[in-house]
């Protein structure tokens, strides 16, 4: 009876004070009116490196880049909540609320557009320990790679890490001197435990290649005492111990950004991810690697579905598209849900502008845990594949072993993206991404398991010397445009054509229909586009069951 009574009393306490359980909410603002920041003075919120990257790619700085309005933040704090992060691309703040009675007060503020709950602190995983990276842990420290590089004419003695770079022909770029020098990679992950002491990163520390850290899960926290997953990921790019482990970009510089709370799964982590991508942009990163993915969440009510994985719907996918529109290249894990009831890639790897990375074994065979995707016209997910089964990685205690997951396939690729971009520094991120896809093993026949296949980075370097091949059947010109542009479609089928212009935030701003006739020249001009604000847009062309996407950029007249 005493035990039963205790249980009843506990239930009454919990239900009676449920509004006191801390929750997180995203507060979206209506505007940035009266901001002390201006697009005419970007140095106030972007580093010179970030500005230079944008200028080199012809990317305008817009109001979306302005920080959220400080007086708005101050007014929200005055209601008694704690502001955790500020998100300029979504124009809002994530707040921690201990008493939900304050929410009507926040919603009543004249500049508040919406308030949505983004975390569940009664999470079924919150006391269950680390669940996010169970695959990497369950398959870790196993494998049997032979050192096939010792004594060969290579720049590095790769040791057991040879297979993972050789599959991409990455050693060819290293031999040419392209090892990531001058490129900055932002690593968005769950923590970097031991990265400040692990000897595999001695070279990074000695040469000041770790540019800084930031914790968006626990603001002000120390990423070096958080989860080890990010450090393991980093070792596949930045590791540098000859004969043991050489990363794919050992001479690149790195920002280490914590956005993931490994013990729980809440959609607030997607908002953290966007803020992390904003920081990567502002410090001038060239490449983002993210070995994170979002599908379903604790307690179910925030869950995504495969229908949501369309490239521009989920918060992190929208953020990824914005990040790419700022001139960064994104390499993102496709997910480890192969063989499960989840039958598609995860966000943000579904983003239209990101490279979604599937996993293979050392011979290029599909790894069964790698999430399958979809092929629909020019929308191919995953985009490419890299070795993700039994990769050689460094552990926080200084030992080495084997880990599996698209978590490792993505950074192995991301390092090579940096090396290729070093070699072709005049490329924009879109051209770089296309060259990588065009170098891949099944570019002419992509499938839902490996996308365009395994890229060959020496071939990508060669392709980029002679120009980028154009696989698309549609053209948009002029691009950039001011008031109008024309869409040209070759060899169409007879039937309905749907043209949509989608903002980088995922909103359809213009949608129109036409009729096309097979065998005839089909060109359509979209006029009177003066109402569109300057910036990058996604052009979606749908003909029957085929869908293609292209970039178009609006500039000032």
* pLDDT tens digits, one per residue of 217-261: 999 999 999 999 999 999 999 999 999 999 999 999 999 999 999
Mean pLDDT throughout 275-283? Answer: 98
Distance CA 471, CA 550 (A): 11
Going by pLDDT thresholds of 50, 70 and 90, the confidence category of residue 129 is very low
CATH code, domain with 80: 3.30.70
Distance CA 274, CA 362 (A): 33
Whether 123 is in a domain gets the answer: no
Going by pLDDT thresholds of 50, 70 and 90, the confidence category of residue 262 is very high
Detail the DSSP E strand segments found in 56-215: 82-87, 92-97, 112-117, 184-189, 210-215
Q: Which of 117, 151, 167 is at the close of a domain?
A: 117
pLDDT in tens, 173-209: 999 999 999 999 999 999 999 999 999 999 999 999 9
Q: Which pLDDT value is given to residue 138?
A: 52
Whether 125 is in a domain gets the answer: no
Peptide bond into 478 cis (omega under 30): yes
Same structural domain, 179 and 281:
yes
Q: Which pLDDT value is given to residue 462?
A: 86
Whether the CB-CB separation of 325 and 553 falls below 8 Å is answered with no
Spell out the residues 6+ positions from residue 47 whose beta carbon is closer than 8 angstroms to its own: 282, 283, 284
Q: For the chain, what's the residue count?
A: 557
Q: Which pLDDT value is given to residue 37?
A: 97
> Within a 10 A sphere around the Cβ of 186, how many other Cβ atoms?
28
Percentage of the chain beyond pLDDT 70 is 87
Same structural domain, 244 and 336:
yes
Whether the CB-CB separation of 230 and 394 falls below 8 Å is answered with no
Whether the CB-CB separation of 256 and 233 falls below 8 Å is answered with no
Between 498 and 168, name the one with better pLDDT.
168
Whether the CB-CB separation of 256 and 192 falls below 8 Å is answered with yes
Q: Which pLDDT value is given to residue 556?
A: 78
CATH code, domain with 533: 2.60.40.3080
Same structural domain, 169 and 236:
yes
Same structural domain, 411 and 488:
no
Q: Which pLDDT value is given to residue 444?
A: 86
Give the relative orientation of helices 406-423 and 457-466 as an angle to the nearest 10 degrees: 40
Same structural domain, 460 and 432:
yes
Whether 129 is in a domain gets the answer: no
Whether 122 is in a domain gets the answer: no
Same structural domain, 332 and 205:
yes
In terms of C-beta density within 10 A (0-12 exposed, 13-18 middle, 19 or more buried), how is residue 268 classed?
A: buried
CATH code, domain with 384: 3.40.50.200
Same structural domain, 455 and 428:
yes
Same structural domain, 142 and 26:
no
Closest CA to 409 of 515, 298, 501, 331: 331
pLDDT in tens, 426-456: 999 999 999 999 999 999 899 999 999 999 9
Distance CA 280, CA 89 (A): 13
Q: What is the mean pLDDT of the chain?
A: 89
Mean pLDDT throughout 420-431? Answer: 95
Give the relative orientation of helices 457-466 and 429-438 as an angle to the nearest 10 degrees: 120
Going by pLDDT thresholds of 50, 70 and 90, the confidence category of residue 5 is very low
Whole-Å CA distances, 475 to 159, 308, 490, 550: 46, 27, 9, 8
Same structural domain, 289 and 345:
yes
Spell out the residues 6+ positions from residue 140 whose beta carbon is closer than 8 angstroms to its own: 393, 395, 401, 402, 403, 404
Supply φ then ψ for residue 372, to 5 degrees: -75, 165
**Torsion (CA) 414, 415, 417, 421 in degrees, nearest 10:** 140
Whether the CB-CB separation of 472 and 490 falls below 8 Å is answered with no
Percentage of the chain beyond pLDDT 90 is 73
Give the relative orientation of helices 315-325 and 268-282 as an angle to the nearest 10 degrees: 10
Same structural domain, 284 and 355:
yes
Q: Which pLDDT value is given to residue 159?
A: 96
Whether 130 is in a domain gets the answer: no
Same structural domain, 51 and 79:
yes
Whether 386 is in a domain gets the answer: yes
Q: What share of the chain is helix, strand, coil (3-state, %, to 5)?
A: 30, 25, 50
Distance CA 474, CA 290 (A): 31
Listing DSSP states for 94-120 in one string gives: EEEES-GGGHHHHHTSTTEEEEEE---
- What Rg value do the Cα atoms of the chain yield, rounded? 24
Distance CA 379, CA 402 (A): 33
Question: Taking CA 287 as the corner, what is the angle to CA 283 and CA 292, rounded to the nearest 5 degrees?
Answer: 105
> Within a 10 A sphere around the Cβ of 363, how many other Cβ atoms?
9
Q: Which pLDDT value is given to residue 534?
A: 85
- Asked if residue 467 has pLDDT above 80, the reply is no
Closest CA to 167 of 389, 394, 349: 389
Whether 456 is in a domain gets the answer: yes
Closest CA to 200 of 242, 232, 240: 240
What residues does 496 pair with on adjacent strands? 515
For residue 20, what are the domain limits?
Answer: 2-117
Whether the CB-CB separation of 472 and 435 falls below 8 Å is answered with no
Number of domains in the chain: 3
Whether the CB-CB separation of 486 and 539 falls below 8 Å is answered with no
- Asked if residue 301 has pLDDT above 90, the reply is no
Same structural domain, 457 and 484:
no
Q: Which of 466, 485, 505 is at the close of a domain?
A: 466
Going by pLDDT thresholds of 50, 70 and 90, the confidence category of residue 464 is confident
Whether the CB-CB separation of 33 and 52 falls below 8 Å is answered with no
Burial 435-473 (b: 16+ CB within 10 A, else e): bbbbbbbebeebbbbbbbbbbbbbbbbebbeeeeeeebb
Whether the CB-CB separation of 133 and 262 falls below 8 Å is answered with yes
Whole-Å CA distances, 310 to 30, 61, 156, 353, 512: 26, 27, 41, 12, 20
Q: Which pLDDT value is given to residue 553?
A: 81
pLDDT in tens, 46-80: 999 999 999 999 999 999 999 999 999 999 999 99
Whether 185 is in a domain gets the answer: yes
Label the pairing between strands 329-333 and 355-360: parallel
Whether the CB-CB separation of 24 and 268 falls below 8 Å is answered with yes
């Amino acid at each position: 009876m005493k035990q039963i009574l205790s249980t009843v009393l506990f239930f009454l306490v919990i239900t009676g004070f449920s509004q006191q359980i801390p929750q997180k909410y995203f507060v979206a603002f209506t505007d940035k009116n009266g901001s002390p920041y201006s697009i005419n003075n970007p140095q106030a919120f972007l580093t010179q490196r970030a500005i230079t990257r944008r200028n080199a790619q012809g990317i305008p700085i817009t109001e979306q880049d302005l920080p959220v309005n400080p007086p708005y933040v101050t007014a929200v704090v005055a209601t008694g909540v704690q502001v955790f992060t500020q998100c300029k691309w979504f124009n809002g703040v994530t707040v921690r609320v201990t008493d939900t009675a304050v929410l009507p007060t926040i919603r009543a503020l004249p500049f508040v557009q919406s308030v949505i709950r983004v975390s569940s602190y009664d999470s079924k995983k919150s006391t269950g320990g680390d669940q996010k990276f169970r695959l990497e842990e369950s398959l870790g420290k196993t494998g049997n790679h032979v050192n096939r590089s010792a004594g060969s004419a290579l720049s590095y003695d790769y040791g057991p890490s040879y297979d993972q770079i050789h599959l991409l022909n990455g050693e060819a770029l290293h031999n040419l001197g392209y090892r990531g020098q001058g490129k900055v990679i932002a690593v968005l992950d769950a923590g970097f435990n031991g990265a400040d002491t692990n000897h595999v990163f001695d070279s990074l520390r000695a040469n000041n290649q770790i540019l800084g850290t930031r914790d968006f899960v626990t603001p002000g926290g120390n990423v070096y005492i958080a989860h080890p997953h990010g450090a393991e990921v980093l070792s596949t790019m930045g590791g540098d111990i000859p004969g043991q482990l050489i990363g794919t970009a050992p001479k690149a510089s790195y920002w280490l950004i914590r956005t993931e709370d490994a013990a729980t799964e809440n959609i607030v982590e997607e908002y953290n991810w966007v803020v992390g991508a904003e920081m990567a942009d502002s410090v001038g990163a060239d490449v983002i690697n993210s070995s994170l993915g979002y599908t379903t969440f604790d307690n179910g009510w925030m869950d995504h579905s495969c229908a949501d994985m369309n490239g521009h719907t989920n918060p992190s996918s929208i953020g990824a598209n914005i990040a790419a529109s700022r001139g960064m290249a994104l390499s993102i894990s496709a997910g480890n849900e192969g063989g499960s009831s989840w039958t598609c890639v995860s966000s943000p790897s579904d983003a239209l502008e990101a490279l979604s990375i599937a996993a293979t074994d050392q011979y290029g065979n599909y790894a069964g845990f790698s999430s399958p995707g979809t092929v629909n016209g020019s929308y191919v997910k995953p985009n490419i594949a890299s070795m993700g089964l039994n990769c050689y990685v460094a552990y926080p205690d200084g030992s080495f072993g084997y880990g599996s997951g698209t978590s490792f396939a993505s950074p192995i690729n991301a390092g090579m993206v940096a090396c290729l971009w070093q070699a072709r520094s005049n490329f924009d991120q879109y051209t770089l991404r296309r060259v990588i896809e065009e170098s891949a093993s099944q570019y002419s026949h992509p499938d839902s398991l490996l996308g365009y296949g395994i890229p060959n980075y020496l071939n990508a370097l060669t392709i980029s010397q002679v120009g980028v091949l154009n696989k698309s059947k549609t053209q948009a010109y002029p691009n950039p445009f001011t008031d109008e542009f024309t869409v040209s479609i070759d060899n169409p089928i007879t039937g309905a054509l749907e043209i949509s212009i989608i903002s980088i935030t995922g909103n359809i701003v213009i949608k129109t229909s036409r009729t096309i006739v097979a065998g005839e020249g089909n060109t359509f001009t979209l006029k009177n586009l003066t109402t569109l604000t300057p910036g990058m847009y996604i052009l979606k062309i749908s003909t029957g069951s085929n869908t293609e996407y292209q970039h178009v950029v609006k500039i000032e007249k």
